[in-house]
Amino acid sequence: MNKMTAKQKKLADIIGIVCGVFVLIVGVVTGIIKSMPATAGAKAGDIPASAQHLSGTAEGRNGPITVDIIADEGRIYQINVASHQETDGIGSVAVDKLPGMIYEAQSLEVDAVSGATLSSDAIKAAVLNALESGGLSADGFGGGNVASSAAAKLAQKVETNSGVRLMHASDWKEQYPNEYNSWLMTKESEEAEDYLEIYPMLRPLYEGYGFAIDYKAARGHYYDVEHIEATGRPHPLANCWTCKTPDFTYMVNEEGVGAYTKPWTEVQAQIVEGISCYNCHANDPEQIVITHTYWIDALGEDFDKVAAANLACGQCHNEYYFAPDTKATTIAHNSLESMAPDTMLAYFNDGANFSNGEPFSDWTNPRTGVKQIKVQHPEFETFLGKGSQHANDFTCADCHMPDAVAEDGTAYRSHNIISPLDNPELIENNCSQCHYDLVGEVRAVQEKVETRTYAVGYELEYLTELLADAVESGAYTDAELARVRALARNAQFYWDFVFVENAEGAHNPTLTYECLDKAEELCSQALSLLKALTAA
């Protein structure tokens, strides 16, 4: 290679300096632009001196949104989003667009920005609060509707012992044909994979429990009743109807926890349909109502901190257990903070939490003597748990119940629950702003999680067989095996927390990997103890 002449070197240095300065200027300008408030409205010279300068705040996706406005009784002259914490490329789109939309319409009754509904609603509410702070009537700007809409977005709690008649999906099909017909489309999710064939380690891990007899993947909501009636798992009590049908949910709400101990077949005769309108709306389709009272208890004082859509889905998609004394469906947490896997496991392991004074167990493995916990589909705890990427950006409905438009132009929320990966419009309009290839990214996470799930599962199976052999030998006392059993119990809990979570890691890869790491480490500790014991 020829050496550069002094002149060429000097020219290269100058070009490098110029490029560096250019990059610096671009960075500074970009930072200034991003930090500038989103403003829309009239020029200062066109604003009457009598107009009021007002400020209002409302809670957005990630924190408070503060809006400054200039207005009088007849007109909003300027709208300025002074501060916000919304996600760049998602909620920030509403921050950029909505002030201009409100100003142009001179109304708060404008459509939310697609993919940023919560941020849009917060901006509207902040403008409403600003108007009201100055004693200005918000009705002329559609403020009354915004106020009632904001209130409606908080989930309501079901009224128990109401005496009302349960209304089924068919009762609403004339008034809400689009929602009804899309709900019927859940029958298209008819595939039922046999987990016992796909995951051969399940039979020894669940031995002594119903899931070792029959365990198939859940299908669409349309099949909930058929699914439980067809299963080979024994279900003597009515509590097994929890989250399968509005008919049982209504029965518990009207009769109390005594309904949980009714014979399963007695309740079966009264079942009409699977999960439907009542479960998420009670008898008010315009309002989200949490109808599972155990879920209301599970959130405690944090109930109003959770988006209504997440609460509605979470009341069934959670980790629950049947209380030993009442057989009632119960949750092992009572706040957002206490719903972590570690905290829930500690709850199960503390006998003081149960009437018999013993740590909770769903069953005892007959060959190992391990008192096991059977985890149930903890989608809510995973998606909103520590490490979640999108807990503050999207709700379950945003991703699984897409907005739709009927042939006559009517907009509605689809009740055909689908994977966001099967929604190209969502991916193109929303996800692609941050993800170059969302489908590829999700599949990569799921493949990694699936590989580790198999690996750790086989390690747990190996531990189970060695422990069963030790028990069968009769050479060791329960006291000698107690520590191994405790480690095996805890290891399987963390593994099961991942295995039964239906997103296969996509909802929260960070938490998923942590659980698999803990399961593997606890399993390794148990194997070391057991091998040392049997070698002695």
Least-confidence region, from 187-191, 245-249, 441-445, 509-513? 187-191
Per-residue pLDDT band for 20 (boundaries 50, 70, 90) equals low
User: 0.85 cut: is pTM over it?
Assistant: no
Q: Identify residue 496 by its one-letter amino acid code.
A: D
> Does the pLDDT at position 320 exceed 50?
yes
Higher pLDDT, 280 or 152: 280
Mean pLDDT of 163-180: 95
Least-confidence region, from 12-26, 179-193, 220-234, 451-465? 12-26
Q: Which residue ranges make up each domain of the chain?
A: 56-153, 169-535
Angle 356-358-359 from CA coordinates, rounded to 5°: 135
> For the purposes of burial, counting CB atoms within 10 Å of the CB of 190, is it exposed (0-12), middle (13-18) or buried (19 or more)?
exposed
Say how far apart CA 248 and CA 228 lie, in whole Å. Answer: 13
Per-residue pLDDT band for 138 (boundaries 50, 70, 90) equals confident
Angle 366-372-373 from CA coordinates, rounded to 5°: 150
Mean pLDDT of 486-512: 97
Length of the chain: 536
Higher pLDDT, 111 or 346: 346
Per-residue pLDDT band for 2 (boundaries 50, 70, 90) equals very low
The mean predicted confidence, pLDDT, of the chain is 89
> Does the pLDDT at position 3 exceed 50?
no
Which pLDDT score is estimated for 6? 55
Say how far apart CA 141 and CA 125 lie, in whole Å. Answer: 12
Task: Please list the residues that pair with 59 across neighbouring strands.
Answer: 64
Mean pLDDT of 105-130: 84
For the stretch 344-374, pLDDT in tens is 999 999 999 999 999 999 999 999 999 999 9
> Does the pLDDT at position 33 exceed 80?
no
> Does the pLDDT at position 1 exceed 60?
no
Give me 374's structure tokens.
Answer: 């059977």
Contacts (Cβ under 8 Å, ≥6 apart) of 499: 199, 375, 453, 457
Give me 341's structure tokens.
Answer: 């896997």
Least-confidence region, from 82-91, 176-185, 279-288? 82-91
Which pLDDT score is estimated for 154? 81
CA atoms within 13 A on the CB side of 387: 15
From 3.30.310, 1.10.40, 3.40.50, 3.90.1010, which CATH number describes the 56-153 domain? 3.90.1010
Higher pLDDT, 102 or 31: 102
Least-confidence region, from 82-91, 123-132, 145-154? 145-154
Say how far apart CA 371 and CA 89 lie, in whole Å. Answer: 48
For residue 5, the tally of other CB atoms under 10 A from its CB is 9
Mean pLDDT of 158-168: 94
CATH code that applies to domain 169-535? 1.10.1130.10
Instruction: Give the torsion through C-alpha atoms of 312, 316, 321, 322, to 10 deg.
Output: 90
For the stretch 438-486, pLDDT in tens is 999 999 999 999 999 999 999 999 999 999 999 999 999 999 999 999 9
Q: Which of 243, 260, 493 is nearest to 362 (CA)?
A: 493
DSSP string, 29-61: HHHHHHHS-EEEE--GGGS-TT-EEEEEEEE-S
Per-residue pLDDT band for 220 (boundaries 50, 70, 90) equals confident
Instruction: Give the torsion through C-alpha atoms of 139, 142, 143, 144, to 10 deg.
Output: 70
Mean pLDDT of 132-155: 72
For residue 137, the tally of other CB atoms under 10 A from its CB is 12
> Does the pLDDT at position 27 exceed 70?
no
Least-confidence region, from 63-77, 307-321, 459-473, 500-514? 63-77
For the stretch 35-87, pLDDT in tens is 445 778 888 888 998 899 999 998 887 788 999 999 998 899 999 999 998 88
Burial 368-387 (b: 16+ CB within 10 A, else e): bbbbbbbbbbbbbbbbbbee
Mean pLDDT of 286-314: 94
> Does the pLDDT at position 32 exceed 70?
no
Mean pLDDT of 331-345: 96
For the stretch 392-418, pLDDT in tens is 778 899 899 988 889 998 888 999 999
In the chain, what percentage of residues exceed pLDDT 90? 64
Q: Identify residue 520 by its one-letter amino acid code.
A: E
Mean pLDDT of 181-204: 91
Contacts (Cβ under 8 Å, ≥6 apart) of 22: none
Mean pLDDT of 218-238: 89
Least-confidence region, from 33-42, 129-138, 292-301, 316-325? 33-42
Which pLDDT score is estimated for 150? 53
> Does the pLDDT at position 168 exceed 60?
yes
Mean pLDDT of 517-536: 95
Which pLDDT score is estimated for 498? 98
The answer to whether residues 459 and 520 touch, using CB atoms and an 8 Å cutoff, is yes
